[in-house]
Each structure stands twice: as structure tokens, then as C-alpha cells.
Structure 1
Amino acid sequence: MSRFQQQGAVEYDGRIGTLVPGYAALHQTSAAWLKATLPAQARVLVLGAGTGAEVLALAQQNPDWHITALEPSGDMLAVARAKCAAAQRHNVAFVHGYAEDLPVAAPFDAALCLLVMHFIDTTAAKQQFLNQAAAQLVAGAPLLLCDLMQGHNIERMAMVHYAIGQGLPESQGEALQRRLQTEFFALSEAELARLAQQAGFRQPEVYFRALGFAAFVLLKAE
């Protein structure tokens, strides 16, 4: 997608907090949840690391975690690298590519996938994505996943009004509403639970919610 490439990658941080309610709190809450459950030397995989918001939140919670940041957009990954260098975070390995590009024998103690899977456009591809995520985790490890979920029109309108309240020009409100309908491929919570179970995870449990966005803990079955 063009908004994740070149100038879109550079401008990403300036717009994402406007569009996603609780964006900063989501990352801080996710890192805190892992802090409460993981050992000091844990191996953490960030699927779709983007410009590094998750990586920095994780490093702030525990600088001794070994973090692998996986991102298919080279431009986004370059921003993440620069951020981590500026913050002197040296415990991050950057991988340009997809989950299938990771070594098969690279088990992680936890993974994050925040605001990624709702861009995958088919159920079959979402299933494959979850299967690949599960393959990278040790038994009992958590996958923290947040996406835009299926919702009703009032909720979507509230998201538009939220964005306008955060600084989005009102003239762009209708375009945002159309994007929410056409560029996001949202699951219901029941559908997510079904796909998660087929990938080898237990029942998803909510740990964060803001308007149409919901974050879940998926524990890999032992």
C-alpha cells in the first residue's frame, strides 16, 4: 500500500494517532501485559513492526528482551531502525519480509501483531498468517493481536468524529468513512476465535478496546 511506502512511511507516525483511538495506550498496555508475564531474557517477535512503536514500547518496559522486528515495507522498517538507533535500543534485530521469511527453528516466547491483520483481504490468507505466527511460538506463548473488528455504522461514524476531533480536516471525514468500509477486512470476534483455534491457539481474551479496535491475547496451546 502506498501509505506504507516512501513519503507515506515518513508521515505514518503523524497520522496514525489521529486515526486509531488509544494508539499510544494500546502499545503501552501491550508491553505492560508482556512485562507481567515474560522472563527478563524473553524472545519477542513483532509481526508488522511498522515504524517501531511496539519495539520502543517493549524496550521501555524491559531493555533485556531480545526483540525481532519483522516488517514487509522497507521504508517503514528504515524509520523503525532510525528510531531505535536514536533511542539507543540495541537489542532489536530487524527483518525485512514476512513470517515465512523467518527461520523455521526460531521459537519466540511471545509475539505482537498490532493493527496488521485487518489489511489481509481473505479469510484463507488470515488463517495462513495465524498459522505462521503460531509456528514461531513456543507452547503456551502469547500472541497479542489488535485489529479493527466488525462493527455497526454508529461505531464507524464515531471513529470518524474521533479523528476529526484529533485534527483530521472535516473535508476528509467522508473519505475516511469509505476507507473504513473498503480498505479494512474486519473479522467478527467469533470468526477470530475460530481461526485462532484452527491455528492452535486457545480462546482469544480481550485486554484492550477502543471504539472499533480490540486487542486480544491468544495463547498457543501446549
Structure 2
Amino acid sequence: MAQFAFDAHAAAGYVERPPRQVPGLEGLHKMAALLLGEYVPADGRVLVLGAGGGLELKALAEAQAGWHFHGVDPSADMLALARQVVGPLARRIDLQQGYIADAPEGPFDGAVCLLTFHFIGRAQRLETLRHLRSRLRPGAPLILAHISFSQEEPERSRWIARHAGFAEGRTASGAALDRALGTMGTQLTILPPEEEEAMLAEAGFEGISLFYAGLSFRGWVAYAG
């Protein structure tokens, strides 16, 4: 599957960027651990797609001392960063360079994919979700969170302006908005929430619920049917 992979330049400042760009990132990690913990046993195995950078791996491993993780990411530079970030927690974490189709078949007790799906093209979204579903035991939770908002104007431009301005504390306008519109239009694939939920259902997930919303970001929990 042709998907975006971060290079060394992008990886270099990654640890600092998400907390500035994602509203309530620490809370998102805590909620992910909570929702997984409802179904994942104390010695469970969790699949993490888009694991490069290691921020969610570190948070989840600290939250649950008995869980083991398999992280997959297409970027060798981001995986190297993840190894630094998780530190001694690495003894419970296996990291693999590749895409979801390269991941072990499982079955896993849960899966997480945070801040990744907006880098996956529309044509690959459903296939990616089906790969995730096939690697989960029945009833296992998937935690999914990324950029998602209406693609109808003027809502689309308004949400991009808010997204671009969050780190600066004010809504983007003028040249800053033009740059954001160009960047997000060429580098990201953003779908409306209703399409995201329809794809989850088509891929075989049930009990789909929105649990997180922070400006341009949305998060869902769904269960393998």
C-alpha cells in the first residue's frame, strides 16, 4: 500500500510537535489506555499501527505494566525515535518497519492507530481497516484517532484555519491560511466523520462510538465483529 512515511527531517522534531498540534494529546493517550483496558487482559497483546515516534507506545506501556506491544511503521527514522522515547519499556515492545499488511497475523487483544489515518490515501483506507480487523480476536477494541471534518465549503476552510492556528493560539488567516490549505490539501487525506464510521462498519467493526473530539481531530472506539 502506498502510504506516507516520515523522513529523518520530519522525525527530528516529532516529539515536540504533537503536543502543540493535537488538543489534549495526553488525555487522548489516557483515554486510549482506558478503553483498551476494558477488554485487553492484564497480559494482553496490543497492535500499534503508525508506532513511529513512540509517544503512544510509551503512554500505554506505562499505563499497563503487563501488556506487550507490536508496533508497525513505514519509517526507519521514526522507529529509531520510538526506541529512544520508550527507553527501558522496549523490553515489552517489538518494532517492525512496514505497513499493516506486514504485521503478524495475531490475533491481538486490541489495536491502536493514532494520528496516522490522515496520511493514508482514500483508496487504502478500507484495506487498512480490514487488515486491522483480521488481526484482532472477535470483540477486541480498535482505538482510532486522526484529523476528520466536513469537506464541504465553507466548513472545510474554517476547520483548516482552526487546525493551523491552534499551536499559535489564534485562527489562521491570510497567507498562513493559504499555506495551510495548500499543505493539508496535498499531504493529507481528510474524510468527514460519517465516511470514517461507514468504513469502519464496512471493514467488519461494530459498536462504533466517538470518544474524542479536539478541534479538527476525532477519535473512535470500535470492536472487531
Change (3 A) 1:187 1:197: same
1:147 and 2:151 matched? no
- Superposition pairs for residues 15-164 of structure 1, below 5 Å? 15-85=17-87, 87-104=88-105, 106-122=106-122, 124-151=123-150, 152=155, 153-164=157-168
1:219 alignment counterpart: 223
Q: Which amino acid aligns with 2:24?
A: G
2:209 alignment counterpart: 205
Q: TM-score, normalised to structure 2's length? A: 0.87
**Residues 189-215 of structure 1 deviation map (CA, whole Å, 9 limit, x = unaligned):** 221222112211114201111011000
Contact residue 35 and residue 61 of structure 1 kept, 8 A = no
Contact residue 39 and residue 140 of structure 2 kept, 8 A = no
Structure 2 residue ranges without an equivalent (≥5): none
**Residues 112-159 of structure 1 deviation map (CA, whole Å, 9 limit, x = unaligned):** 01111111122x311110011111100001110012112323232222
Separation (CA, whole Å) in 2 of partners of 1:217 and 1:88: 25
Task: Say which is worse superposed, 2-11 or 12-21, in terms of deviation.
Answer: 2-11
**Residues 62-85 of structure 1 deviation map (CA, whole Å, 9 limit, x = unaligned):** 121011111110000001012222
Among all aligned residue pairs of Structure 1 and Structure 2, give the percentage whose two residues are the same amino acid.
32
**Residues 138-192 of structure 1 deviation map (CA, whole Å, 9 limit, x = unaligned):** 00011100121123232322222212129x9x97554234323332211222212
* RMSD of equivalent CA atoms: 2.3
The number of residue pairs the alignment matches comes to 216
Structure 1 residue ranges without an equivalent (≥5): none
Q: TM-score, normalised to structure 1's length? A: 0.88
